Chain A
Amino acid sequence: MRKNLVSRNNLISYKNFGRKNLIGYIFSSPFIIFTLAMWLYPFLWGIVISFKKWNLISPKQSWVGLENYLGVIKDPMLWVMVRNSIYFMVVFITITTITSLGLALLIKQIPKKYAGLYIAGFLLSYVSSGVAYSMVFNLLFAGDGLVNNLLRIFGIKVGWFTNPKIAMASIAMIVCWKFTGYYGLFFLAGLNNINPTLYEAAVIDGANSWQRFIKITVPLLNATFIMIIVFATIISFNLFTEPYMITGGGPMNATRTMMLEIYHRVFGLLQAGYGSTLAIVSAVITFIFVWAFRKLIERDDIYE
């Protein structure tokens, strides 16, 4: 009886092999069509346009070979934007690591029922919309905004978005505000995955809490660090809404990002070819950064 069932079962699977594939392909066909139409096709087209000079309007599209690429590389603006992105990354990664790791370490100490409430509170900033919080911070940090009014009591005045030296740092801080709770959650998950016996062993070996933090916690959170750094790299080149809403790329191009420049080139000056080239160059630079970071920091086997 039992044997019979198994063989019948196999038979069903066998007979239905073709049918199953058919249904499976029907299920995944929207995805395949979508991939071809919205991913592969635009991807290739983007590459093609980058070798052309075209103003989006005229029927004339002339091949210019590598002219756009040479133009992008020779344009001093490219290095300004790379510099801005690195500045953003440094500020963002430093502050977010401190705030979100600190948050996770503190949350871990308190009972679960309160932890949930705190996490929810911190996560509220994450769900906020770019346009909305840019507007809020723009007013809060204005010349006579709340923050400067408070600082004036101490005789300090900061041009948060108008001083070219700190405008990008201010934007990085806004993005930190958004992501602290979210990353805190990741760090918390990472902390919860650390085997407590490691700490117990370290205590027996006489390690103090700072040594335990440096020798156990930090290395074991490696994956979380990598994730945050990679993410910071990607957003630093793709930043658009915040500088668009607040600074327009100024002052002195201090907050000009790749995305802002691409938008300006394509939709402000109608330079479709140049804009596409810039997009490709920006993707390549992002990949290089991500690759370099992983090479530098990623560890595969720690305390297995």
Chain B
Amino acid sequence: MNKYIKCKMPLIYLVLTIGLFLAIFPYLWMVLSSFKVSGEIYTRFWPTKLTLGNYAFILKGGTGQERNFTGSIANSLIISIIPTISVIFFGMITAYSLRRMKICGYRFFENLVVYQMLFPGVLFLIPLFLIMRDWGQINKHSGMILRYLIDPWAIFIYIQFFKTIPEALLEAARIDGASEFKIITRIMLPLSKTTTAIVTLFTFMARWSEFLWPLIVNKDYDKMPLSVLLALFTKGEYQTYPGVQMAGATLLTLPIVILFLVFRRHFEEGISFTGLKG
């Protein structure tokens, strides 16, 4: 038995390491290519010389034309951070009012939350686009943000978490004269660190990578998020600049990777009770 385990373990590590290599290889290749001169991207894996030219091209506009990539990073941050904060805030107060305050008809509203999660987004794409148009939200940050300010999924997982907090804790606070809002910020928020970390990570990730919606509701270069600007750049006129494309892809990947590494522990802890999020 002992001998069996002895030769089994190295094998497991070997398979896992090969798998891990395959999993991060595209990243590795992307980052390496972003520092290569264009002749070496297709032909060599390890570059013979490194260049920052691709990044300079993308951030400054290499052949004379203006592409505001720096601005687009700011746009991406705007349309990612605002919904993230809003989703957490409204997710929390809604979940609290439904699950802990049990307002009249809370069961109905909880079902509504679940229904909203189940209905596929494709049903809403065209009418929401028309609504944004009628409200004059085209070519504006707000048009890209509005529909994402509240996320039923976040409400749902806050409800799941709030179920586990003992009522006595809240009663004690109420007797001390704490307002309901204070209970949320002083008791619920610190308790739900893991849940909030998960909501932050997933919401930020989804908004940062979002492609279809900003593609539809915004045609203004100055307000374009990085994902759309990069896609248009690649699909359209700059098909012939692979190094620059990879520099852009690296810039697009970096923030979410950093955020993930920061929240990694919560991610693995929280995954079991949060369910699936596309």
Contact = CB atoms under 8 A, between A and B. Distances in A.
Given A31-B155, A283-B123, A136 B23 contact: no
Interface string A149-190: 100000000000000000000000000010011000110010
B94 interface: yes
Contacts of B149: 34
A131 B230 contact: yes
A259 B122 contact: yes
B122 A121 contact: no
Contact of A42 (B41, B127, B234, B252): B127
Given A25-B103, A133-B26, A240-B212, A38 B147 contact: yes
Q: Interface size for chain A: under 10, 10 to 19, 20 to 34, or 35 or more residues? A: 35 or more
A236 to B, nearest CB: 12
A106 B150 contact: no
Contact of A43 (B12, B26, B119, B267): B119
A135 B146 CA distance: 29
Nearest to B103: A24
A45 B130 contact: yes
Interface in B99-120: 101-104, 109, 112, 116, 119-120
A7 B104 CA distance: 24
B24 A125 contact: yes
B276 A42 contact: no
Interface in B1-27: 8-9, 12-13, 15-16, 19-20, 22-24, 26-27
A146 B128 CA distance: 42
A27 interface: yes
Interface stretch (A87-95, A212-220, A273-281): A273-281
B93 interface: yes
Contacts of B29: 136, 140, 146
Interface string B229-254: 01100110000001001101110110
A120 B27 CA distance: 14
Given A129-B253, A234-B120, A124 B23 contact: yes
Contacts, number: 246
Secondary structure call for the A interface = helix
A267 B252 contact: no
B127 A30 contact: no
B116 A39 contact: yes
A235 interface: yes
Contacts of A28: 93-94, 97-98, 103, 109
Interface string A116-141: 10111111110111111101110110
24 contacts: A20-B101, A28-B103, A30-B150, A31-B94, A34-B90, A35-B112, A38-B128, A38-B131, A41-B127, A46-B124, A56-B130, A122-B20, A125-B26, A129-B208, A131-B209, A139-B33, A227-B276, A231-B278, A235-B278, A238-B120, A241-B211, A276-B127, A279-B123, A283-B120
Ordered nearest first, which 8 A-B pairs have the shortest CB separation? A24-B103, A42-B127, A129-B209, A27-B97, A132-B249, A24-B101, A24-B97, A45-B127
Interface of B: 8-9, 12-13, 15-16, 19-20, 22-24, 26-27, 29-30, 33, 41-43, 45, 90, 93-94, 96-98, 101-104, 109, 112, 116, 119-131, 146-147, 149-150, 155, 171, 174-175, 180, 205, 208-209, 211-212, 216, 227-228, 230-231, 234-235, 242, 245-246, 248-250, 252-253, 256-257, 259-261, 264, 267-268, 271-272, 275-276, 278
